[in-house]
Amino acid sequence: MLYLIGLGLGDVKDITVKGLEVVKKCTRVYLEAYTSILTVGKQALEEYYGRELILADREMVEQEADEILRGADITDVAFLVVGDPFGATTHSDLVLRAVNAGIQYRVIHNASVMNAVGCCGLQLYNFGETVSIVFWTDTWRPESFYDKIKRNREMGMHTLCLLDTSYFFQRGRKIYEPPRYMSVNQAAEQLLEIVKNRRDEDTVCVGLARIGAEDQAIIAGTLQHLACCDLGGPLHSLIITGHLHPLEVDMLRLFATQPDSLQSLTTTDSSTYTS
């Protein structure tokens, strides 16, 4: 059996009881190590699980999946994923390869950023399409994600923006440089560059950092406010609000950075706010 096991968002104890039981009995346990990070390292996970973990980088998962699946038809193999296996990043390819090889699989779910963002008070069923914001370079400044944000806002929907996690490696050599993690203020600055002539600078947004950890941070304010904020270490997410219910507004006030952070909100009717 191939088990895909979600590890949740915070520390070693966020794995489910069911997931931990499976990890302890598997012949091999892989830790997917490129789509996200936990607030603890591989060694802390090994100590808590009582098992050695094999790091599975992007190259292994995408090009050497047969090694992960080796023997999974006669023994149990676990593939650990930060968050949920089918949350922000899916691993459908690995499942399809397993099925084509006649290997059974089972998914053990856990919390993901896709549902945990509800901690800021915005109602999950009011979210539209999720987007990714990547680091710009001197020669590459994609803006296509903004069109999706705009469509969501036209429908009154919130937009969850997943912020870039970039890994670099030396060409021809498997030596990885320290990754970069986009912060809320970096994402806000790039968005301000895009909207500077569109009068969207006062849109109410929410910045979130390290969701699920003890030092979780949430901040609500305009795009301009968030461009100046510092939420500390990774991982960060950004939400662009659409139409807001009064209850959502009351919740956002708990995280407002300044007295005028939500001043740009206006009412369209007795139960709807917008910015």
C-alpha radius of gyration, the chain, whole number? 20
Alpha helices in the chain (DSSP H): 17-25, 42-49, 58-63, 65-69, 92-100, 113-116, 144-154, 184-195, 223-226, 246-253
Look at strands 165-169 and 266-269 and give their pairing.
Answer: unpaired
Place of tokens 């699980």: 49
- Per-residue model confidence (pLDDT) at position 171: 44
Binding-site sequence positions for S-adenosyl-L-methionine: 9, 84, 87, 112-113, 163, 236
Which residue type does 229 have? C
- Per-residue model confidence (pLDDT) at position 169: 46
Binding-site sequence positions: 9, 84, 87, 112-113, 163, 236
Give 80: exposed, middle or buried? Use CB within 10 Å, 0-12, 13-18, 19+: buried
In b/e form, how buried is each residue of 108-144, taking b as 16+ CB within 10 angstroms?
Answer: bbbbbbbebbeebbbeeebbbebbebbbeeeeeeeee
- Per-residue model confidence (pLDDT) at position 87: 80
- pLDDT 10s per residue in the chain (275 long)? 999 999 998 789 999 999 999 999 999 999 987 667 777 788 999 999 999 999 887 778 878 888 999 999 999 999 999 999 988 666 888 999 999 999 999 999 999 999 999 999 999 999 999 999 988 888 888 888 999 999 999 999 999 999 987 654 444 455 555 678 899 999 999 999 998 766 667 899 999 999 988 899 999 999 999 999 999 998 899 999 999 999 999 999 999 988 788 888 889 888 899 98
Determine the 3-state secondary structure of 79 from DSSP: strand
- Per-residue model confidence (pLDDT) at position 170: 45
Domains of the chain as residue ranges with CATH: 2-111 (3.40.1010.10), 114-268 (3.30.950.10)
- Per-residue model confidence (pLDDT) at position 178: 65
Looking at the DSSP assignment, which residues form a beta bridge with residue 22? none
- Per-residue model confidence (pLDDT) at position 177: 57
| CA nearest to 235, candidates 186, 165, 169 | 165
- Per-residue model confidence (pLDDT) at position 196: 79
